[in-house]
Structure 1
Amino acid sequence: MKKTFLLLLSLLCLPAFTGEFPIGIYALDPIGEGTYRAAANSGFNYVFYYVDILTAKERVSRLLDTSEKCGMKVALQVVRGKHILRDPEHLKKLRTAVREWKNHPALGMWYLFDEPSPELHERLLNIYKMLKTETPDIPVLLCLSWIKNYQVFKDCADILMPDLYPVKNQKFPDAPLNQFSHFVWDVKRLKKPVMPIAQIMSFVNYPKMVKVDPKSCREPNAQELRYFSFSVMTMDVCGIAYYSFWDIWRQYRFKSYFLKEAKPVFLEVREFAMAVDGMKFECHSKKIGTGYPPKFFCSSWQKDGRSQIVFVNNTSKPVEGEFQLERTLPSGSLSPWGQTRSVKATNLGSRLVLERVAPWEVLIWSCGK
Structure 2
Amino acid sequence: MITRRQFLALIPGFVVASTGSIFVSLNPKKYLSFNRKRSLPFLLGWYDNINNIDVPIKVSSRGIDLLMPYVEKESEIKIQAFLDASKKTRIKILLEIPRTLIKSENISGVKDFIRTYKNHPSVYAWYLYDEPEMEQPTPLSPNLLKQVYTAIKEEDKSKPVALVFSKIDKIEPYSDAMDILMWDRYPCTQDVAEFQWVSYYRETLYKVMSLADIKNKKFLNVLQAYGNNQFNRRLPTKAEFRYMFYLSVLVGSDGLLFWTHYRSSYSWNESVLYPTIQEFRDYIPAIITGEDSKNLVQVSHSNIEVKLFSIPNTTNFVMIVVNHNETQINFTLKLAINIIKFVGRESDNIKKTRYAKKDTGNSQIKSIC
Among candidates 184, 195, 217, match of residue 220 of structure 2: 195
Find the aligned partners of 1:150 and 1:74 in 2 and give their Cα distance: 24
Show structure 1 runs of 5+ residues with no match.
1-18, 207-213, 287-293, 351-364
Select the residue among 129, 144, 148 that pairs with 2:165.
144
Residue number in structure 1 paired with 2:274: 263
Per the alignment, in what secondary structure is the counterpart of residue 194 of structure 1?
strand
Alpha-carbon distance in 1 for matches of 2:160, 2:323: 33
Aligned length: 305
- How far did 1:171 drift? 7.1
Task: Give the CA deviation at 1:266.
Answer: 2.2
1:102 aligned residue (104, 118, 131): 118
Deviation at 1:61, TM superposition (A): 0.7
8 A Cα contact 2:168 2:208, kept in partner: no
Unaligned runs of 5+ in 2: 1-39, 134-138, 358-364
Q: Which amino acid is 1:67 matched to?
A: S
The one of 102, 118, 121 aligned to 1:85: 102
Normalising to structure 2: TM-score of the pair?
Answer: 0.73
How big is the alpha-carbon RMSD for the aligned residues of Structure 1 and Structure 2? 3.0
Q: In structure 2, what is the Cα distance between the partners aligned to 1:231 and 1:261?
A: 16
Residue of structure 2 in register with 1:357 after alignment: none
Q: Distance in 1 between matches of 2:102 and 2:51?
A: 28
Deviations along 1:339-363, whole A, 9 cap, x unmatched? x86843425359xxxxxxxxxxxxx
Deviations 1:316-366 (A, max 9, x none): 2222223689xx5784443127xx86843425359xxxxxxxxxxxxxx52
Cα separation, 2, equivalents of 1:29 and 1:341: 45
Identify the match of residue 257 of structure 2 among 234, 237, 241: 241
TM-score where L is the length of structure 1: 0.73
Displacement after TM superposition at 1:63 (Å): 1.5
Change (3 A) 1:115 1:261: same
Distance 1:310 1:31 in 2: 36
Amino acid of the residue matched to residue 348 of structure 1?
Y
User: Could you tell me whether the CA contact under 8 Å between 2:164 and 2:184 is conserved in 1?
Assistant: yes
Instruction: Tell me: CA distance 1:136–1:32, structure 2 relative to 1, closer, same or farther (3 Å).
Output: same
Q: Is the 8 A contact 2:51 2:82 kept in 1?
A: no
- Aligned equivalents of 1:55, 1:156: Cα separation in 2: 24
Matches within 5 A, 1:278-297: 279-282=289-292, 295-297=303-305
Aligned to 1:8: none
Identity %: 20
* Higher RCO (CA < 8 A, seq sep 6+): 2
Tell me if 1:66 matches 2:85: yes
Equivalent residue number for residue 334 of structure 1: 342
In the alignment, the residues of structure 1 paired with residue 339 and residue 334 of structure 2 have an alpha-carbon distance, to the nearest angstrom, of 15
Aligned residue number for residue 351 of structure 2: 344
Residue 239 of structure 1 aligns to which amino acid in structure 2?
A: G
Q: Measured at CA, do residues 218 and 72 of structure 1 come closer, stay the same or move farther in structure 2, by a change above 3 Å?
A: same
